[in-house]
Amino acid sequence: MPVLVVLAAVLALTRAEIIARMKAPVFTMAQGLVRVYADCPEDMRKTYHMPMARFSSDMAELLYRGARIKPVRFQKPGIIIHVGSVRTNLNEVAVRVETNGSRVVTHLYARAPHYVDVRKLRVEFARAFMRCVLGKDAGEAESTALLQAADPRFRIKEEREKLENWLKGKGSLDDEEAFTLMRKVLEPGKASKRDILVFASRLFLYPDTLDRPFAGEVGCVSFRDAVKLARVDPRVRFAAFLKSRELPVFGGGRGRELSESADVYARFLKELTRGKMSDDELYALLDKADALLNEADRLAVSIEETK
Protein backbone atom coordinates (compact mmCIF):
# COMPACT_ATOMS: atom_id res chain seq x y z
CA MET A 1 0.00 0.00 0.00
CA PRO A 2 2.72 2.57 0.84
CA VAL A 3 4.24 1.99 -2.61
CA LEU A 4 0.92 2.79 -4.28
CA VAL A 5 0.59 5.95 -2.20
CA VAL A 6 4.07 7.10 -3.27
CA LEU A 7 3.33 6.24 -6.91
CA ALA A 8 0.08 8.19 -6.80
CA ALA A 9 1.89 11.18 -5.31
CA VAL A 10 4.51 11.10 -8.06
CA LEU A 11 1.90 10.82 -10.80
CA ALA A 12 0.13 13.84 -9.31
CA LEU A 13 3.21 16.02 -9.90
CA THR A 14 3.47 18.13 -13.01
CA ARG A 15 6.25 17.43 -15.53
CA ALA A 16 8.05 20.62 -14.44
CA GLU A 17 7.90 19.53 -10.78
CA ILE A 18 9.30 16.08 -11.60
CA ILE A 19 12.18 17.61 -13.56
CA ALA A 20 12.85 20.08 -10.73
CA ARG A 21 13.08 17.24 -8.21
CA MET A 22 15.56 15.40 -10.43
CA LYS A 23 17.96 18.37 -10.49
CA ALA A 24 20.39 18.93 -7.66
CA PRO A 25 21.45 22.53 -7.01
CA VAL A 26 24.30 23.91 -9.08
CA PHE A 27 27.67 24.20 -7.34
CA THR A 28 30.18 26.86 -8.27
CA MET A 29 33.60 26.79 -6.61
CA ALA A 30 37.28 27.73 -6.92
CA GLN A 31 36.41 31.44 -7.20
CA GLY A 32 34.03 30.84 -10.08
CA LEU A 33 36.38 28.66 -12.17
CA VAL A 34 34.31 25.46 -11.94
CA ARG A 35 30.60 24.75 -12.06
CA VAL A 36 29.13 21.34 -11.37
CA TYR A 37 25.68 20.22 -12.52
CA ALA A 38 24.17 16.89 -11.47
CA ASP A 39 21.12 15.06 -12.80
CA CYS A 40 20.08 13.51 -9.52
CA PRO A 41 17.35 13.86 -6.89
CA GLU A 42 17.90 16.33 -4.07
CA ASP A 43 18.23 13.53 -1.49
CA MET A 44 21.12 11.98 -3.48
CA ARG A 45 23.20 15.15 -3.45
CA LYS A 46 25.56 13.98 -0.69
CA THR A 47 26.53 10.77 -2.47
CA TYR A 48 26.12 11.82 -6.09
CA HIS A 49 26.82 15.54 -6.44
CA MET A 50 29.00 16.53 -3.51
CA PRO A 51 31.88 14.09 -4.31
CA MET A 52 32.34 15.72 -7.72
CA ALA A 53 32.15 19.19 -6.18
CA ARG A 54 34.86 18.29 -3.65
CA PHE A 55 36.97 16.67 -6.37
CA SER A 56 36.76 19.82 -8.52
CA SER A 57 37.65 22.14 -5.68
CA ASP A 58 40.63 19.99 -4.63
CA MET A 59 41.86 19.69 -8.22
CA ALA A 60 41.71 23.43 -8.83
CA GLU A 61 43.66 24.10 -5.63
CA LEU A 62 46.32 21.51 -6.56
CA LEU A 63 46.73 22.82 -10.10
CA TYR A 64 47.07 26.43 -9.03
CA ARG A 65 49.78 25.29 -6.63
CA GLY A 66 51.44 23.13 -9.29
CA ALA A 67 51.42 26.01 -11.77
CA ARG A 68 52.76 28.33 -9.03
CA ILE A 69 50.19 31.04 -9.60
CA LYS A 70 47.59 32.61 -7.36
CA PRO A 71 43.93 31.67 -7.89
CA VAL A 72 42.08 33.85 -10.40
CA ARG A 73 38.49 35.00 -9.90
CA PHE A 74 36.10 34.19 -12.77
CA GLN A 75 32.79 35.90 -13.48
CA LYS A 76 31.75 32.93 -15.62
CA PRO A 77 33.05 29.36 -15.23
CA GLY A 78 35.75 28.00 -17.52
CA ILE A 79 35.16 24.36 -16.54
CA ILE A 80 31.68 22.88 -16.38
CA ILE A 81 31.22 19.32 -15.12
CA HIS A 82 28.00 17.48 -15.89
CA VAL A 83 27.41 14.53 -13.54
CA GLY A 84 25.00 11.82 -14.59
CA SER A 85 25.14 12.78 -18.24
CA VAL A 86 23.76 10.25 -20.73
CA ARG A 87 26.49 11.31 -23.18
CA THR A 88 28.89 8.78 -21.64
CA ASN A 89 29.19 5.05 -21.08
CA LEU A 90 29.75 3.67 -17.57
CA ASN A 91 33.19 5.13 -16.88
CA GLU A 92 33.97 7.24 -19.93
CA VAL A 93 34.69 10.96 -19.63
CA ALA A 94 33.36 12.92 -22.60
CA VAL A 95 34.81 16.33 -23.46
CA ARG A 96 33.41 19.30 -25.35
CA VAL A 97 35.38 22.54 -25.79
CA GLU A 98 33.37 25.68 -26.46
CA THR A 99 35.00 28.90 -27.71
CA ASN A 100 33.24 32.23 -27.54
CA GLY A 101 35.60 35.00 -28.62
CA SER A 102 38.53 34.94 -26.19
CA ARG A 103 36.62 32.84 -23.67
CA VAL A 104 37.15 29.06 -23.68
CA VAL A 105 34.84 26.76 -21.74
CA THR A 106 35.46 23.04 -21.31
CA HIS A 107 32.49 20.77 -20.61
CA LEU A 108 33.30 17.43 -18.95
CA TYR A 109 30.60 14.77 -18.91
CA ALA A 110 30.79 11.95 -16.34
CA ARG A 111 28.23 9.24 -15.69
CA ALA A 112 28.53 9.11 -11.89
CA PRO A 113 31.26 9.64 -9.25
CA HIS A 114 31.50 5.93 -8.39
CA TYR A 115 31.77 4.84 -12.05
CA VAL A 116 33.99 7.51 -13.57
CA ASP A 117 37.52 6.82 -14.84
CA VAL A 118 39.26 8.98 -12.22
CA ARG A 119 42.61 9.15 -14.02
CA LYS A 120 40.94 10.29 -17.24
CA LEU A 121 38.90 12.85 -15.34
CA ARG A 122 42.03 14.23 -13.65
CA VAL A 123 43.92 14.54 -16.93
CA GLU A 124 40.99 16.19 -18.73
CA PHE A 125 40.42 18.54 -15.79
CA ALA A 126 44.10 19.54 -15.96
CA ARG A 127 43.81 20.15 -19.72
CA ALA A 128 40.71 22.27 -19.12
CA PHE A 129 42.55 24.21 -16.40
CA MET A 130 45.44 24.91 -18.77
CA ARG A 131 43.06 26.10 -21.50
CA CYS A 132 41.12 28.41 -19.22
CA VAL A 133 43.69 29.63 -16.68
CA LEU A 134 47.01 29.33 -18.52
CA GLY A 135 45.73 29.94 -22.05
CA LYS A 136 47.41 26.78 -23.38
CA ASP A 137 45.81 24.01 -25.43
CA ALA A 138 48.00 21.26 -23.94
CA GLY A 139 48.17 17.62 -24.84
CA GLU A 140 47.87 14.71 -22.41
CA ALA A 141 51.63 14.53 -21.76
CA GLU A 142 51.88 18.19 -20.73
CA SER A 143 48.76 18.08 -18.57
CA THR A 144 50.00 14.86 -16.93
CA ALA A 145 53.31 16.61 -16.17
CA LEU A 146 51.40 19.45 -14.47
CA LEU A 147 49.44 16.91 -12.42
CA GLN A 148 52.63 15.19 -11.35
CA ALA A 149 54.15 18.51 -10.30
CA ALA A 150 50.98 19.46 -8.44
CA ASP A 151 50.28 16.15 -6.70
CA PRO A 152 53.10 13.76 -5.74
CA ARG A 153 50.51 11.01 -5.18
CA PHE A 154 49.54 11.17 -8.85
CA ARG A 155 53.21 10.86 -9.86
CA ILE A 156 53.63 7.86 -7.59
CA LYS A 157 50.62 6.09 -9.07
CA GLU A 158 51.72 6.83 -12.63
CA GLU A 159 55.24 5.52 -12.03
CA ARG A 160 54.04 2.44 -10.17
CA GLU A 161 51.62 1.57 -12.98
CA LYS A 162 54.25 2.24 -15.66
CA LEU A 163 56.67 -0.16 -13.95
CA GLU A 164 53.90 -2.69 -13.32
CA ASN A 165 52.92 -2.72 -17.01
CA TRP A 166 56.55 -3.02 -18.12
CA LEU A 167 57.12 -6.01 -15.84
CA LYS A 168 54.00 -7.63 -17.35
CA GLY A 169 55.37 -7.04 -20.85
CA LYS A 170 52.76 -4.39 -21.68
CA GLY A 171 54.77 -1.19 -21.40
CA SER A 172 57.06 0.69 -23.75
CA LEU A 173 59.90 1.47 -21.32
CA ASP A 174 63.45 0.79 -22.42
CA ASP A 175 65.75 -1.08 -20.03
CA GLU A 176 67.45 2.09 -18.75
CA GLU A 177 64.11 3.76 -17.90
CA ALA A 178 62.88 0.59 -16.22
CA PHE A 179 66.09 0.26 -14.19
CA THR A 180 65.79 3.89 -13.09
CA LEU A 181 62.20 3.31 -11.93
CA MET A 182 63.14 0.11 -10.10
CA ARG A 183 65.89 1.95 -8.22
CA LYS A 184 63.74 4.97 -7.50
CA VAL A 185 61.99 5.33 -4.16
CA LEU A 186 58.50 6.19 -5.38
CA GLU A 187 56.99 6.74 -1.95
CA PRO A 188 59.51 7.27 0.86
CA GLY A 189 59.03 5.02 3.85
CA LYS A 190 56.73 2.55 2.08
CA ALA A 191 57.33 -0.61 0.11
CA SER A 192 54.86 -1.80 -2.50
CA LYS A 193 54.25 -5.44 -3.38
CA ARG A 194 56.09 -4.71 -6.62
CA ASP A 195 59.08 -3.33 -4.68
CA ILE A 196 59.24 -6.62 -2.78
CA LEU A 197 59.04 -8.69 -5.97
CA VAL A 198 61.72 -6.63 -7.70
CA PHE A 199 63.97 -6.93 -4.66
CA ALA A 200 63.38 -10.68 -4.31
CA SER A 201 64.16 -11.22 -7.99
CA ARG A 202 67.70 -10.00 -7.29
CA LEU A 203 68.49 -12.54 -4.59
CA PHE A 204 70.57 -14.69 -6.96
CA LEU A 205 74.20 -14.77 -8.02
CA TYR A 206 75.34 -15.00 -11.63
CA PRO A 207 78.80 -15.65 -13.12
CA ASP A 208 80.68 -12.68 -14.57
CA THR A 209 80.35 -14.16 -18.07
CA LEU A 210 77.46 -16.37 -19.20
CA ASP A 211 79.73 -18.77 -21.09
CA ARG A 212 81.58 -19.65 -17.87
CA PRO A 213 79.02 -21.05 -15.39
CA PHE A 214 79.91 -21.58 -11.75
CA ALA A 215 81.74 -24.87 -11.15
CA GLY A 216 81.47 -25.47 -14.89
CA GLU A 217 77.73 -26.15 -14.81
CA VAL A 218 75.72 -23.68 -12.66
CA GLY A 219 74.50 -20.55 -14.44
CA CYS A 220 72.51 -19.10 -11.52
CA VAL A 221 72.64 -19.83 -7.81
CA SER A 222 70.49 -18.83 -4.83
CA PHE A 223 72.15 -17.25 -1.82
CA ARG A 224 71.56 -20.39 0.26
CA ASP A 225 73.09 -22.70 -2.35
CA ALA A 226 75.97 -20.25 -2.81
CA VAL A 227 77.24 -21.06 0.70
CA LYS A 228 78.43 -24.53 -0.41
CA LEU A 229 79.30 -23.55 -3.98
CA ALA A 230 81.61 -20.75 -2.80
CA ARG A 231 83.89 -23.44 -1.36
CA VAL A 232 84.23 -24.94 -4.83
CA ASP A 233 84.37 -21.89 -7.12
CA PRO A 234 85.94 -18.62 -5.87
CA ARG A 235 84.06 -16.69 -8.57
CA VAL A 236 80.95 -17.17 -6.45
CA ARG A 237 82.61 -15.05 -3.77
CA PHE A 238 83.41 -12.35 -6.33
CA ALA A 239 79.79 -12.36 -7.51
CA ALA A 240 78.71 -12.05 -3.86
CA PHE A 241 80.97 -9.03 -3.42
CA LEU A 242 79.38 -7.26 -6.41
CA LYS A 243 75.87 -8.13 -5.26
CA SER A 244 76.55 -6.84 -1.73
CA ARG A 245 77.00 -3.33 -3.17
CA GLU A 246 73.81 -3.49 -5.25
CA LEU A 247 71.15 -4.70 -2.79
CA PRO A 248 71.05 -1.69 -0.43
CA VAL A 249 70.12 0.49 -3.43
CA PHE A 250 67.00 -1.58 -4.09
CA GLY A 251 66.04 -1.90 -0.44
CA GLY A 252 66.75 1.58 0.91
CA GLY A 253 64.03 4.14 1.61
CA ARG A 254 61.16 1.66 1.20
CA GLY A 255 60.24 0.97 4.79
CA ARG A 256 62.24 -0.21 7.78
CA GLU A 257 61.75 -3.95 7.23
CA LEU A 258 62.88 -4.00 3.59
CA SER A 259 65.80 -1.69 4.32
CA GLU A 260 66.94 -3.85 7.25
CA SER A 261 66.48 -6.99 5.17
CA ALA A 262 68.69 -5.55 2.42
CA ASP A 263 71.35 -4.64 4.99
CA VAL A 264 71.39 -8.16 6.43
CA TYR A 265 71.55 -9.74 2.97
CA ALA A 266 74.45 -7.41 2.15
CA ARG A 267 76.21 -8.42 5.36
CA PHE A 268 75.72 -12.10 4.48
CA LEU A 269 77.25 -11.51 1.05
CA LYS A 270 80.22 -9.66 2.51
CA GLU A 271 80.85 -12.49 4.95
CA LEU A 272 80.53 -15.01 2.13
CA THR A 273 83.14 -12.98 0.24
CA ARG A 274 85.52 -12.98 3.22
CA GLY A 275 85.12 -16.72 3.77
CA LYS A 276 85.69 -16.51 7.54
CA MET A 277 82.24 -17.48 8.88
CA SER A 278 81.03 -21.07 9.26
CA ASP A 279 78.18 -22.37 7.12
CA ASP A 280 75.84 -22.33 10.13
CA GLU A 281 76.64 -18.70 10.86
CA LEU A 282 76.00 -17.76 7.22
CA TYR A 283 72.70 -19.64 7.21
CA ALA A 284 71.68 -17.81 10.41
CA LEU A 285 72.25 -14.47 8.68
CA LEU A 286 70.16 -15.64 5.72
CA ASP A 287 67.34 -16.77 8.03
CA LYS A 288 67.28 -13.32 9.65
CA ALA A 289 67.25 -11.55 6.26
CA ASP A 290 64.48 -13.84 4.96
CA ALA A 291 62.36 -13.18 8.07
CA LEU A 292 62.69 -9.41 7.59
CA LEU A 293 61.80 -9.74 3.90
CA ASN A 294 58.69 -11.78 4.76
CA GLU A 295 57.64 -9.10 7.23
CA ALA A 296 58.22 -6.39 4.61
CA ASP A 297 56.04 -8.35 2.21
CA ARG A 298 53.28 -8.62 4.82
CA LEU A 299 53.29 -4.86 5.40
CA ALA A 300 53.73 -3.85 1.75
CA VAL A 301 51.03 -1.89 -0.04
CA SER A 302 49.59 -3.27 -3.24
CA ILE A 303 49.32 -1.32 -6.50
CA GLU A 304 45.54 -1.22 -6.01
CA GLU A 305 45.89 0.41 -2.56
CA THR A 306 47.79 3.32 -4.06
CA LYS A 307 45.18 4.18 -6.65
pLDDT of residue 201: 81
Exposed/middle/buried for 295, CB within 10 Å: 0-12, 13-18, 19+? middle
pLDDT of the residue at 268: 95
Mean pLDDT by 10 residues, the chain (307 residues): 41 51 58 81 69 84 85 88 67 84 87 77 91 87 82 67 67 65 54 78 83 80 92 91 84 78 93 93 94 87 45
Residue 189: which region, alpha, beta or left (left: phi > 0; alpha: psi -120 to 50)? Answer: left
Q: What's the CA gap between 31 and 129, in Å, rounded?
A: 13
Return the pLDDT at 139.
84
What per-residue confidence (pLDDT) applies to 174?
67
Give the separation between CA 37 and CA 112, rounded to whole angstroms.
Answer: 11
Helix (H, G, I), strand (E, B) or coil at 13: coil
Res 2: pLDDT? 45
Q: Where are the alpha helices (DSSP H) in the chain?
A: 2-12, 15-21, 50-67, 118-129, 140-150, 152-167, 175-183, 193-200, 223-229, 234-251, 256-274, 279-299
- 3-state class of 263 per DSSP? helix
Q: In 3-state terms, what secondary structure has residue 131?
A: helix
Give the predicted TM-score (pTM) of the model.
0.49
Cβ within 8 Å of residue 301, ≥6 positions away: 190, 191, 192, 193
Q: Determine the Cα–Cα distance for residues 283 and 268; give it in Å rounded to an integer.
A: 9
**What's residue 3's pLDDT?**
41
User: How confident is the model at residue 284, as a pLDDT?
Assistant: 95
Q: Torsions phi, psi of 132, nearest 5?
A: -80, -45
pLDDT at residue 53, rounded to an integer: 81
Task: Determine the Cα–Cα distance for residues 106 and 266; give it in Å rounded to an integer.
Answer: 55
Domain coordinates of the chain in residue numbers? 12-150, 182-306
Q: What's the pLDDT at 79? A: 92
Q: What is the per-residue pLDDT across 57-68, written as a single tens digit (0 to 9) for each?
A: 888 888 888 888
- Supply the pLDDT for residue 52: 82
In this prediction, residue 106 carries a pLDDT of 92
Round to whole Å and give the CA distance between 32 and 74: 5
